[in-house]
Amino acid sequence: MTETPQTPARRYRWRRPKDTQDETAAQGPASGKEELKHEVARELGLEDDLQDPDELSVREAGKIGGQMVRRLIEAGKEQMARERSADEKAR
């Protein structure tokens, strides 16, 4: 049997158009989602890659986005539980 050569895994990068890169850099982490993104990237050790979008791989962006979604879902569940308990107390 002949073995097929294995190709190394490719590292894909997503690049923003140049016109949006400048706008985002000028704004900084002002919005809540931006702050959350930077907080998650810092915890994952990817903040330095986040500063330069050309250095952020698709996999790294996915890690950051996945953690953001998890946190937003948890925050939503907690908010719904607080509202439910407030409604029950009001009755």
**Where in the sequence is the domain holding 64, given as residue range(s)?**
31-90
Tens-digit pLDDT string for the chain (91 aa) = 566 666 666 666 666 666 554 555 555 546 888 999 999 999 999 988 888 878 889 999 999 999 999 999 999 999 999 999 988 888 7
Domains identified in the chain, total number: 1
Residue 24 is assigned to a structural domain of this protein: no
pTM: 0.61
pLDDT of residue 87: 87
Q: Which helix (H) or strand (E) holds 59?
A: helix 58-90
pLDDT of residue 8: 63
Residue among 91, 35, 86, 44 nearest 64 (CA)? 44
pLDDT of residue 88: 86
Residue 26 is assigned to a structural domain of this protein: no
Residue 7 is assigned to a structural domain of this protein: no
* Chain CA centroid to CA 7, Å: 29
Residue among 13, 12, 38 nearest 25 (CA)? 38
